[in-house]
Amino acid sequence: MNIRESFEEREFQELSPYAAHSRDSRGRDVYETECDVRTVYQRDRDRILHSKAFRRLKDKTQVFLAPQGDHYRTRLTHTLEVSQTARTIAKALNLNEDLVEAIALGHDLGHTPFGHAGEYALNEVCPLGFAHYKQSIRVVELLEKDGDGLNLTWEVRDGILNHRTSGKPNTLEGQIVRLCDKISYIHHDMDDAQRAGIISEDDIPITIRVVLGGTTRERLNTLIHDIILNSMGRDAIVQSGEIAEAMRMLRQLMFDNVYKNPVAKKEEKKAKRMLMELYEYYSSHINKLPDEYQRLISRGEKEERVVCDYISGMTDQYSMHHFEELFVPKAWAVY
């Protein structure tokens, strides 16, 4: 028995009967010889971690666009916090921690520069529409590795596609990531908003604080414990009614006071207009796209979608620099 097979046997002996066992995966779209060391979900996690799209998350906005400070979250730190929280819950419930980690690390690979502002911009200007969760799947199935994709397992792709609020993951591991995505952004966006002076503990209704806790740390602890206690030994990942309602109220508070706050969002209109201008430019100058994207078009991909592929893959800084190169006049000089 090789190392991978011993891991698979250990999963079978030790994990919950409701866990997604590596040996029972629906597999990959393109057959590959099994690794002798890593399970399929461990390989998927490593492929995501080493992907270019994952590295670009370090310079993509989470909530605060171009914040002045070193401690505000980015899309990368959000991803890592989702992974850590989800792994904690998966370990406590005896579920497949490797699958949870792979889904968590990959769930936002398709996010645009400037967070949801960029997503809304591309969805508005592209006739085919744009949604980051669908783009994350496109990244792992097609865009990475020069058009070959990462060839991930069905379970990881299912979790990535269904991480949105309205999603319905087919594995408990995917359900964990779906909940932990919301828990994480509510927690860390509240922390960042308090750091920025946009909101304070006094702005949170006492009814929410009594149920969830009086600090961001206490609330995170409450939410994690509630999921573990209510999901133990069950074939679904669930919250208690009281905690779920309090989290819903806290999330709504964040939308009303932070996500739609004119102070926090004052630069978003500029970012949206910039990305829309980039989309219009490349839609009219397809030949200016990098070669790897032109190859996608030659393979039959729609031009509108490929333009979105290019722009959504940009980082905040790259998109601003690129916009400046295309549209901002340079000083004329004779050398």
**SS (HEC) of 273-328:** HHHHHHHHHHHHCHHHCCHHHHHHHHCCCCHHHHHHHHHHCCCHHHHHHHHHHHHC
Q: What is the pLDDT of residue 262?
A: 81
Q: For residue 61, give the 3-state DSSP assignment.
A: strand
Is residue 183 one of the residues assigned to a domain? yes
Q: What domain range is 213 assigned to?
A: 3-266
Is residue 225 one of the residues assigned to a domain? yes
Q: What are phi and psi of 74, to 5 degrees?
A: -115, 180
Q: What is the pLDDT of residue 53?
A: 98
**In sequence order, what are the residues at sequence separation of 6 or more whose Cβ sits closer than 8 angstroms to the Cβ of residue 159?**
99, 102, 103, 106, 107, 169, 171, 173, 174, 177, 178
Is residue 109 one of the residues assigned to a domain? yes
Q: What is the pLDDT of residue 72?
A: 84
d(C-alpha 251, C-alpha 219), whole Å: 12
Total structural domains within the chain: 1
Q: What is the pLDDT of residue 12?
A: 95
Is residue 304 one of the residues assigned to a domain? no
Structure tokens at 318: 């790259």
* Mean pLDDT in order along the chain per 10 residues (335 residues): 93 97 97 96 98 96 73 91 98 98 98 95 98 98 96 98 95 98 94 90 95 96 98 97 97 91 81 97 97 96 98 96 92 63
Q: What is the pLDDT of residue 67?
A: 62
Q: What is the pLDDT of residue 330?
A: 81
Is residue 292 one of the residues assigned to a domain? no
Q: What is the pLDDT of residue 335?
A: 57
- The enclosing domain of 19 has a CATH number of 1.10.3210.10
Q: What is the pLDDT of residue 59?
A: 94
Is residue 300 one of the residues assigned to a domain? no
Is residue 282 one of the residues assigned to a domain? no
Whether 64 contacts 264, CB under 8 Å: yes
Q: What is the pLDDT of residue 260?
A: 85
Is residue 231 one of the residues assigned to a domain? yes
Q: What is the pLDDT of residue 334?
A: 62
Report if pTM > 0.75: yes
Give the closest residue to 85 by CA, choosing from 212, 184, 219. 184
Q: What is the pLDDT of residue 1?
A: 66
